[in-house]
Structure 1
Amino acid sequence: MNNKQILIYGAYGYTGELIARKAVAKGLRPILAGRSSSKLEPLATELGLPAIAVGLDDEETLKRTLQGVSVVIHCAGPFSATAEPMMRACIASGAHYQDITGEMAVYQQAHALDAEAKAANVVLCPGTGFDVIPTDCLAAALHREMTSATHLTLGFDSDSGLSPGTAKTSIESLGVGGAIRRNGKIEVIPHAELTRKINFGRGEKFAVAIPWGDVATAYYSTEIPNIEVYIPMSPRRAKKMKGLNKFRWLLRMNWMQQWLKGKVDKSVRGPTENQRAEQKTWVWGEVRNDRRGERRVGRVVTANGYDVTVNGSLAVMEFLLAYHGEGGYFTPSKLCGPELVEKLPGSGAIKIGID
């Protein structure tokens, strides 16, 4: 396994750097890659690692760069723009692909490339971080408990702040709205249209449905046709979020998106190591079969979302380095099993009951 080469693309971003440093601490020597040589060099020099500057729009150079690479951990967003060229380069060069996105469009694109990836014997596994390992594993465990489930609801509660990349992804959804799955199809809904009270694991809280990645991935993992995902939010903030609906047309405008993302660059910094160490995440899920009157609830407590992303990405990478199965598109639970989340540092066991 140690003779196989790993490449981390976007290694100088907040999460990419965390993954690179943890990989080195585990005795690995990944190649660091990204668009900017000036941003790559300081980190590569400090860690004593090789660095390659290559843009995702340079298709031939990118494919040559990936020759001999076994696994790519793609960390450069916005993934709506960067994931497809990297996935196609991995398929062309024979490298397994994973990323840390939470964007539904990327999961749908990977799913659409399933046949091409199978033919190349390449695994495509986007979402090997907090988006979506904990929720995906909990969804799979709940489905195993109730294979007849017709409805799946997921959610999580965390005190963690946003990294710049996650904040920018959130901005992209402002002009779109929320999303749920109904009767097997993804539906766009207004912001804060669906609310309910949920005990994520530390008391009942008011919660709002959000366009989380599991609206796509949990369906691929479980085939449950009705899926919603919630986070806690104060009623006051939910009301403000609802007020954004009338401005979605404006929030979709390119200049507005660029202005908002520029504000992120100036003001948002990811949490420090000490902050991450103090922030756990409570993940909750519910499956129902209303025709039978059946319901099960599952919970799992994990580390901070960014630590889950670092450790989850490296756990999937290690799995892929030893992998001898078929290629194609996989969710994390389909690739590594629902137990994956329980194996990550700081995670507890998945617990399922009637409440």
Structure 2
Amino acid sequence: MSTSNWMIYGANGYTGKLIAEEAVRRGLKPILAGRNPQAIEALAKQLELPYRCFDLHDMSGSDLADIDLVLHCAGPFSATAEPMMRACIAQGCHYLDITGEVAVFELGQQLSDQAKAANVVLIPGVGFDVIPTDCVAARLKQAMPDATRLTLAFDSRSGFSRGTAKTSAEALPKGSMIRQQGKLVATPLAHKTRTIAFADTPKLAVSIPWGDLSTAWFSTAIDNIEVYIPMSARKVKQLKRINWVRGLMGLGWVQALIKNRIEASLTGPSDSQRARHTTVIWGEVSNEKGQRIEARLDTANGYDVTVTGALAVTEFLLQNPDHSGYHTPSTLMGWQLVESLPGSGHIRLSGDTGASDGQAQAS
């Protein structure tokens, strides 16, 4: 594959633009693409890159005919992932995206056999969703092969881009989710809380329907998975109250109102804001013997992880194209991937590491 034959679709969005700018700094020459001709052309001229414009729901065979890899950045992925995945399979080019949506990961797994037949890799979630948590999950599974429960959490103050906020708005009416006995189980919002020591100070945290409920299950085969983020007791109560009106929040006019407000008020965090707000990842596995191992990892801001993570996977596949089927970041590149990203430390283990495979070390 040639590094000139790859595309960033949705390059004019907040995260897509950050990725395109960093790609240029690295000497890469992606083709910029999207459905907004004015925005795509302006960005392409600014970065001196080739571009093309097309709508995902009105694609022709020529749109991807000469493309080896698509890095898909146009959300909400609930609406855009499937047409792009299927187009990539049809045209024989690898598919990457930066989603965190469980349904998109599940779709990728369902299309894995088709992707294998076409010698195509499908790897959604090559950003902050879900590289750090997926790598922590894989490291914990290595440390405790007989683990039956996995809990993941992250403490981040990254702020929202418009795309992330709109995806969150779409998710609210659906409630939350956990994986239980191998099955995805729908739950009310704020269904579970627990106290987690991300660093020195324990924090109240609430369960969320994060993508690892799908990806970590694929990566580790652990059948019971939950994901948490810190939240104040007041906000937890507010979230629980939303359960009474979740049905109304799914109405088209309500979603339109929320998204219009997001469009008018959000732009995404600035460079200085991202630099100030780094992230802590926490994870825990336990087995039937009652043994447990915890993991902690410091990373850069979530959006910066998305930029460097997406490009790391892109460059890997361009240089090592002979992979196919559905993957998570850790199944494609190993749990060490996250430690190679700028701003990331090492995954630190503590607890019953004597129950490990011999490779884990307490820290």
Q: Which interval holds the TM-score relative to the shorter structure? A: over 0.9
How many angstroms apart in 1 are the aligned matches of 2:270 and 2:2? 30
Give 1:252's aligned residue. Answer: 250
SS in 1 for 2:57: coil
How many angstroms apart in 2 are the aligned matches of 1:165 and 1:202? 32
Write the deviation string for residues 290-317 of structure 1: whole angstroms up to 9, x where unpaired. Answer: x211100001100000000000000000
Give 1:66's aligned residue. Answer: 64
Give 1:29's aligned residue. Answer: 29
How many angstroms apart in 2 are the aligned matches of 1:268 and 1:346? 25
Alignment check: 8 A CA contact 1:201 1:283 kept = no
SS in 1 for 2:134: helix
Matches within 5 A, 1:307-322: 307-322=304-319
Moved more, 132-141 or 63-72: 63-72
What letter is aligned with 1:28?
A: L
Report deviation, 1:127: 0.1
How many angstroms apart in 1 are the aligned matches of 2:275 and 2:243? 36
How many angstroms apart in 2 are the aligned matches of 1:119 and 1:143? 29
Give 1:48's aligned residue. Answer: 48
What letter is aligned with 2:342?
A: P
What letter is aligned with 1:321?
A: L
Give 2:228's aligned residue. Answer: 230
Report deviation, 1:325: 3.3
Give 1:57's aligned residue. Answer: 57
Report deviation, 1:258: 1.3
Structure 1 unaligned spans of 5+: none
How many angstroms apart in 2 are the aligned matches of 1:316 and 1:270? 24
Alignment check: 8 A CA contact 1:129 1:309 kept = yes
Alignment check: 8 A CA contact 2:4 2:30 kept = no
Report deviation, 1:69: 1.3
Instruction: Give the 3 Å change call, closer, same or farther, for CA 72–82 of structure 1 in structure 2.
Output: same
Matches within 5 A, 1:1-355: 3-59=3-59, 61=60, 63-289=61-287, 291-354=288-351
**TM-score, normalising length: structure 1:** 0.97
How many angstroms apart in 2 are the aligned matches of 1:325 and 1:143? 26
SS in 2 for 1:57: helix
**TM-score, normalising length: structure 2:** 0.95
How many angstroms apart in 2 are the aligned matches of 1:174 and 1:210? 10
Alignment check: 8 A CA contact 2:3 2:30 kept = no
Write the deviation string for residues 254-277 of structure 1: whole angstroms up to 9, x where unpaired. Answer: 211111111100001210011111
Count of residues in correspondence between the two structures:
352
Give 2:358's aligned residue. Answer: none
What letter is aligned with 1:243?
A: R
Alignment check: 8 A CA contact 2:173 2:249 kept = yes
Write the deviation string for residues 13-64 of structure 1: whole angstroms up to 9, x where unpaired. Answer: 00000000000000011100000101111111111111101000113x2x31
How many angstroms apart in 2 are the aligned matches of 1:293 and 1:353? 15
How many angstroms apart in 1 are the aligned matches of 2:322 and 2:200? 40
Identity %, equivalent residues? 55
Instruction: Give the 3 Å change call, closer, same or farther, for CA 324–76 of structure 1 in structure 2.
Output: closer
Instruction: Give the 3 Å change call, closer, same or farther, for CA 51–339 of structure 1 in structure 2.
Output: same
How many angstroms apart in 2 are the aligned matches of 1:99 and 1:54? 18
Report deviation, 1:3: 4.7
Report deviation, 1:111: 0.5
Write the deviation string for residues 237-292 of structure 1: whole angstroms up to 9, x where unpaired. Answer: 00000000010110111211111111100001210011111111000000001x21
Instruction: Give the 3 Å change call, closer, same or farther, for CA 202–35 of structure 1 in structure 2.
Output: farther
How many angstroms apart in 2 are the aligned matches of 1:2 and 1:176? 42
Structure 2 unaligned spans of 5+: 353-363
How many angstroms apart in 1 are the aligned matches of 2:316 and 2:198? 30
How many angstroms apart in 2 are the aligned matches of 1:324 and 1:51? 23
What letter is aligned with 1:21?
A: E
Write the deviation string for residues 185-227 of structure 1: whole angstroms up to 9, x where unpaired. Answer: 0011111110000011242000000010001110000010000
How many angstroms apart in 2 are the aligned matches of 1:3 and 1:143? 34
